[in-house]
Amino acid sequence: MASMQAWLERLEREGDLKIIEEPCDVNLEIAHAAYVEVKKPDSKVLLFKRPVNREKGIEYEMPVVMNMFASFDITEKIFGRHPDAIADEIEELMHMKPPQGFMEKLALLPKLFALKNVFPKHLKQKGLCQQIVKTASQVDLDELPILKTWSEDGGPFVTMGQVYTRSLDGTMQNLGMYRLQQYDKTRLGMHWQIHKDASHFFDQYKEAGKKMPVTVAIGGDPLYIWCGQAPLPYGIFELLLYGFVRGEPARLVKSVTNDIWIPEDADIVIEGEVDPNEMVIEGPFGDHTGYYTLKEPYPVMDVTAITMKENPVYQATVVGKPPLEDKFMGWGTERIFLPLLKTTAPDLIDYHMPENGVFHNLILAQMETHYKGHAKQFMHAFWGVGQMSFVKHAIFVGKDAPKLTDYETVTEHILNRVDPKNILITEGIVDALDHSSPETLVGGKLGLDCTGEEVEHGVAEPIDDAKLLETLRVIDGNVAGVKQYGAHTKNPVCVVAYRKERCVQSFFDDIEGLERHLKIVVVVDASCNDIENPYMLVWRVANNIDAQRDVRTAPFIMLDASDKNELDGYTREWPGDVFCDEEVLKSLKDRGIIDFDEAFAKRFYL
């Protein structure tokens, strides 16, 4: 177990930490600096030594650390070894057989002995996180450098809070990672979505008519926050995973004003209670989808105590358009949970969730097929397993496919095997942050079976971009641009930039006669997309389509990835993209805190 301070000292020694002495504002500046830094190929952990709030006239006494999971190498250091090695240990335990003979029993003892470390250790004394205790009238959330990330955010948000809750009967405790909006000096919004464990506990307290205790920890060992987002089954305390990965138990102390146990080495602890009968509007908030999530009512936490270490560090993150810190956290989750996923899908070889698919919007999976319809069986299995059930688009390839992270090669492999007959479109639950479906929480799912051989026929009469643009403009003058990808494959992808003055489905009706020239057409809004930027096009398309409404499979495949509005019969509010404040970026650049060029800004839609 290592404290946040110990981690920062190590990162500084090993050249992974960038220290910023210049005063930076908690309103936009710190988050914008971290947002730019983590998109660089050699990104560092950032330590802001002098956070300020110019609006409130506050100079904070504690520094702010951002991008703790700043790279693959740093993430591997936090785990203590490569995530694949942890996955191998899990797989070995899952396939452990009863020992045969005395020597096998002896060989098994170290493994069994090590398992005792998964169980958290409850300490009787106070923790380091309780060196300073403030209760009642002393409570003041303004003493913490809580960040406002985006210009249109509803206020400042705690973004790296370890939210500890427990069931009404006290038999289960949960660690989750939820954003927490600061309303004033003593209240935080609790954005636990309806599918989350904390929300299930909340329902128990509401039915019983009792207030719900909640404790939020910030900082401490960085592994805590990763455990908080790990997709463990309901009822399993996430800090068991901490003990398994660390090889030593999490050391817990009881909160000062409730019975919830939290890590004794946390830097800051916020304790309180939630009245199930009080809901407060939370948001908007620029989220990890790259869009704002809209205002909605959520429970509110009344803070009863704030405790902290002497000389604490405030940990935060920034979410928005990829790539971000969650890229590296998600990599660890993806690798470590592969053996557990194989228990439901035993013929699974590997899987990968590209960060520009913002994880729940796109998954690539490699499997060994044994019979007709096997891949479709896997699709249903994926959509029925825990947090995998939120995945919107799943593409399956066979055992002969290239490495799933070799994007150019695996994309070519997929495009040579796309067949409309092997597309499954269905309906299921979607993440609460999904904005594309006609209603919240339920939406279209798309599965693509590319496990077979290459399809026989490609485009009958290929034409170049210029000729295709001319042809499409004759049909519809709203076509602003065309870019074809994978022209050498059996299923080239034609991306159309479209000025949306009418429903895109009408445009699809009009181009059906171009079957001899087209295999896959994707339409995006001309006003906010660069059709020469495939990385961000994947981000946009995966976010913007609902498979049941926006995908056609005949006479060729057509996808409407435009922003939806009344032209489409879309009645929900469509959220906007998150964009950095230009004046803030200029100020940070002028002061030497960040450095980027126009090509960088354009590439990542800053």
Residue 216 belongs to a domain: yes
Chosen domain end from 450, 476, 492: 450
Residue 218 belongs to a domain: yes
Q: What is the CATH number of the domain that holds 544?
A: 3.40.1670.10
- Structural domain boundaries, residue 63: 4-81+113-315
Cα distances (angstroms) measured from residue 157 to each of 26, 55, 181, 187, 287? 10, 16, 4, 11, 11
Beta strand 442-450 with 393-397: parallel, antiparallel or unpaired? parallel
Same domain, 287 and 384: no
Name residues of the chain where pLDDT drops below 50: 96, 104-106, 108-109, 112-113
Same domain, 185 and 293: yes
Same domain, 283 and 136: yes
Closest by alpha carbon to 526, among 559, 552, 557, 561? 561
Enter the tokens of residue 307.
């405790």
How far is the C-alpha of 503 from the C-alpha of 508, rounded, in Å? 9
Closest by alpha carbon to 413, among 384, 452, 360? 452
Residue 96 belongs to a domain: no
What per-residue confidence (pLDDT) applies to 222?
Answer: 96
Chosen domain end from 250, 285, 315: 315
Same domain, 185 and 260: yes
What per-residue confidence (pLDDT) applies to 146?
Answer: 98
Q: What is the CATH number of the domain that holds 271?
A: 2.30.110.10
φ/ψ of 226, rounded to 5, equals -65, -45
What per-residue confidence (pLDDT) applies to 98?
Answer: 58
Dihedral sign, CA of 145, 150, 155, 158?
negative
Beta bridge partners of 498: 479, 525
How far is the C-alpha of 527 from the C-alpha of 465, rounded, in Å? 20
Enter the tokens of residue 374.
């096997």
Residue 457 belongs to a domain: no
What per-residue confidence (pLDDT) applies to 114?
Answer: 54
- Neighbour tally for 400: CB within 10 Å: 10
Closest by alpha carbon to 391, among 428, 440, 422? 428
What per-residue confidence (pLDDT) applies to 1?
Answer: 56
How far is the C-alpha of 316 from the C-alpha of 160, rounded, in Å? 5
Torsion of CA 187, 189, 190, 195, to 10 degrees: 160
How far is the C-alpha of 385 from the C-alpha of 399, rounded, in Å? 22
Same domain, 219 and 290: yes
Same domain, 263 and 177: yes
How far is the C-alpha of 513 from the C-alpha of 361, rounded, in Å? 31
Enter the tokens of residue 157.
């948000």
Same domain, 310 and 369: no
Inter-helix orientation angle 72-79/326-336, to 10°: 50
Residue 107 belongs to a domain: no
> Cα angle vertex 360, ends 359, 364, to 5°?
65
Enter the tokens of residue 77.
């250091």
Q: Phi-psi category of 373—alpha, beta or left, where left has phi over 0 and alpha has psi -120 to 50?
A: left
Same domain, 515 and 552: yes
What per-residue confidence (pLDDT) applies to 106?
Answer: 47
What per-residue confidence (pLDDT) applies to 346?
Answer: 85
How far is the C-alpha of 319 from the C-alpha of 326, rounded, in Å? 8
Closest by alpha carbon to 347, among 374, 376, 387, 385? 374
Indicate the DSSP class of residue 348. E
Residue 192 belongs to a domain: yes
Same domain, 297 and 333: no
Closest by alpha carbon to 184, among 154, 220, 215, 223? 154
Instruction: Name every residue whose Cβ is closer than 8 Å to that of residue 306 and which is 6 or more positions away in sequence.
Output: 134, 138, 139, 140, 141, 143, 144, 268, 269, 270, 271
What per-residue confidence (pLDDT) applies to 108?
Answer: 44
Chosen domain end from 257, 285, 315: 315
Residue 69 belongs to a domain: yes
Indicate the DSSP class of residue 566. G
Dihedral sign, CA of 353, 356, 357, 358?
positive
143, with CB counted inside 10 A (0-12, 13-18, 19+), is middle
Same domain, 180 and 205: yes
pLDDT in tens, 348-366: 999 999 999 988 899 999 9
Cα distances (angstroms) measured from residue 337 to each of 52, 112, 383, 447? 40, 21, 16, 21
Same domain, 407 and 306: no
Sheet of 45-48: strand order equals 17-20, 45-48, 64-66, 314-315
Residue 321 belongs to a domain: no
Q: How many domains does the structure of the chain reveal?
A: 3
Instruction: Name every residue whose Cβ is closer than 8 Å to that of residue 373 and which is 6 or more positions away in sequence.
Output: none
Residue 98 C-alpha from the chain's centroid: 39
What per-residue confidence (pLDDT) applies to 551?
Answer: 97
Same domain, 337 and 308: no
Dihedral sign, CA of 312, 239, 39, 361?
negative
